[in-house]
Amino acid sequence: DAKTTQPNSMESNEEEPVHLPCNHSTISGTDYIHWYRQLPSQGPEYVIHGLTSNVNNRMASLAIAEDRKSSTLILHRATLRDAAVYYCPPRSPYTGANSKLTFGKGITLSVRP
Amino acid sequence: DGGITQSPKYLFRKEGQNVTLSCEQNLNHDAMYWYRQDPGQGLRLIYYSQIVNDFQKGDIAEGYSVSREKKESFPLTVTSAQKNPTAFYLCASSTWTGSPPGNTIYFGEGSWLTVV
């Protein structure tokens, strides 16, 4: 299984950009990079995904390193509601044992008013 | 609305008892998963199922059992063999083929289990 490593926590000020890093040095060539976030006492929710190119959606942007061994989730203007734990599990598009999704400990984002 | 429903939200178990956590999805997803989360920790995979009547152990399956008799349902039983069952349990589902967002994982709201 591809392993991910992230800092334990980060802090940001409200309305400032936040860059959340993820290292996935053992990712396979076909795995997608997914990001999920988990608010307190809730299940994780999908944020964004990508394969090789940078991606944007209404929630965030995803910057993927050229060698795909790391990625960065970018929140352009952090709000108090963005305070959560962020995970970056690789995701295989194939079936079998690859279909399971392995989450690390994630990175806890705190947002200061 | 489509989604994943877990019940109960809160459950108390006496030592030595088995308890079953319910998970139902109406998303027509093939794959379903159970994760365990301890306070301040990440998610650990207990069991997963890719298709009806088939399931595989995850990383921490000891003391747990599952069944997958219907596509919509994937109940988890926490048995008395699980020595430290107090945790937050999350059920999830996804399609299991193809590129995203088709294989995005959707999670339920979770169930809190406490041993008393």
**Residue A75, min C-alpha distance to chain B (Å):** 20
How do residues B46-92 score in pLDDT, each as one tens digit?
999 988 999 999 989 999 999 999 999 999 999 988 889 999 999 99
- Please determine, for residue A97, whether its predicted confidence score (pLDDT) is greater than 60: no
* Residue A63 confidence (pLDDT): 97
At a CB cut-off of 8 Å and minimum separation 6, what does A51 contact?
Answer: A32, A33, A64, B99
Chain-chain contact of B100 with A49 (C-beta, under 8 angstroms): yes
Put simply, whether A55 touches B (Cβ < 8 Å) is: no
Tokens representing residue A54 in the block: 């940078």
Gap between the Cα atoms of B112 and B27, Å rounded: 23
Put simply, whether B80 touches A (Cβ < 8 Å) is: no
- Please determine, for residue A33, whether its predicted confidence score (pLDDT) is greater than 80: yes
With 0-12 / 13-18 / 19 or more C-beta atoms within 10 angstroms meaning exposed / middle / buried, residue A66 is: exposed
Percent of chain B with pLDDT over 70: 91
Preferred mutation among A8, A36, A38, A99 to probe B, highest tally of B CBs within 10 A:
A99
Task: Name residue B69's amino acid.
Answer: E
Gap between the Cα atoms of B70 and B18, Å rounded: 22
* Residue A103 confidence (pLDDT): 83
- Min mean pLDDT across A68-82, A89-103, B39-53 is at A89-103
Chain-chain contact of B88 with A46 (C-beta, under 8 angstroms): no
Preferred mutation among B68, B104, B113 to probe A, highest tally of A CBs within 10 A:
B104
* Residue B55 confidence (pLDDT): 93
How do residues B22-54 score in pLDDT, each as one tens digit?
999 999 888 899 999 998 888 999 999 988 999
CA B32 to chain centroid, in Å, comes to 8
Put simply, whether B48 touches A (Cβ < 8 Å) is: yes
Nearest to A93 by CA among B101, B47, B58, B115: B101
